[in-house]
Chains A and B, each alone.
Chain A
Amino acid sequence: MSEKEWPLWEVFIRSKQGLDHKHCGSLHAPDAKMAIQMARDVYTRRNEGVSIWVVPSAAIAASDPDDHESFVEPMAAKIYRHPTFYQLPDELEHM
């Protein structure tokens, strides 16, 4: 009996006004609303005034690390080796 997992989200935090958002890790959440809430609890210990972006990990397109010598158009390569990255979870269709 296999349970469908909560999708994986990448978390980007702007910790102070004037700074860029920085990637700080990932977490599992059922949707964007909960992902943001959890990111606040996990990655900012609830500091106010920070800006949080969450992106489904599967939505990130990455350059191929083998082609860093020349400019390459972003490929559909995924950022992780995770096997389930390559199937878009149903719930993402409506986001």
Chain B
Amino acid sequence: MSSSTCEFALRMGDNALILGQRLGEWLGHGPQLEEDIASANIALDLVGQARLWLSLAGRLEGRGRDEDALAYARAQHEFRNCTLVELPNGDYAFTIVRRMLFDAYQRVLLGRLAGGAQAEIAAIAAKSKKEADYHWRHSADWTLRFGDGTDESHRRAQGALDRLWGYTRELFVPDPVDPEADSLRGPWLALVEPLLKEATLAIPAETKFISTGKRGLHSEHLGYVLAEMQFLQRAYPGAKW
């Protein structure tokens, strides 16, 4: 197994971990109790996926690091999540639109991986794809409700989309770890564009902005996320929990 497979597993795991972390912040603070339950389900799925991917990455790496060693002891520049998932939650429109864009990506990516040659990756992808389908149904439905709801919800959803769109470019930039990344953009757009149209939301203009989280060059936000996530293990090194 090449080290680029290990890198790839890290990207998958870190995406799920950081997004799960962000979602976990909403529990008890959501707009309706039923939504808190839905958010918790999705956060649980993502943490579960993170554990699978990070465990695989640790095994492939062969340095004896397990899921917790990777989650709690790596420095910021070693994290391989895309910048999109580390952005702060903002309001519920921002949270939902961010998830919708990512959930669509997960659907097309995991669908491809589930049919792939590498057995371990295909197994994790198959399980995660079912969850991603469910996450997409939820975030797509809410995107419709916000885009085509009230003036206020439309304004918030459009504002969120305007701020988030630029961060999606990174997902489709090919590199040695993921040489076919650009081929996912078509299927991704095929999901996202009709939804946004039905939601009466305008697709923002393309710019030259590209985020670089998956290469380890993050926004200022990840530092804060990790400080919170890792603090106990770092404050009490060597302790078992």
Contact = CB atoms under 8 A, between A and B. Distances in A.
Interface of A: 6, 27-30, 33-34, 37-38, 41-42, 45-46
Contacts of A29: 34
Contact of B32 (A28, A37, A45): A28
A37 B141 contact: yes
B34 A42 contact: yes
Contacts, number: 24
Given A28-B34, A29-B34, A34-B141, 16 more contacts: A6-B32, A27-B34, A30-B145, A33-B141, A37-B137, A37-B138, A38-B34, A38-B37, A38-B38, A41-B34, A41-B41, A42-B34, A42-B37, A45-B41, A46-B41, A46-B134
Contacts of B137: 37
Number of chain B interface residues as a range: 10 to 19
A25 to B, nearest CB: 12
A42 B134 CA distance: 15
A34 B34 CA distance: 10
Contacts of B34: 27-29, 38, 41-42
Contacts of B134: 46
A28 B134 CA distance: 20
Contacts of B38: 37-38, 41
24 contacts: A6-B32, A27-B34, A28-B32, A28-B34, A29-B34, A30-B145, A33-B141, A34-B141, A37-B38, A37-B137, A37-B138, A37-B141, A38-B34, A38-B37, A38-B38, A41-B34, A41-B37, A41-B38, A41-B41, A42-B34, A42-B37, A45-B41, A46-B41, A46-B134
A38 B42 CA distance: 12
Interface string B28-40: 0000101001100
A38 B38 CA distance: 7
B30 to A, nearest CB: 12
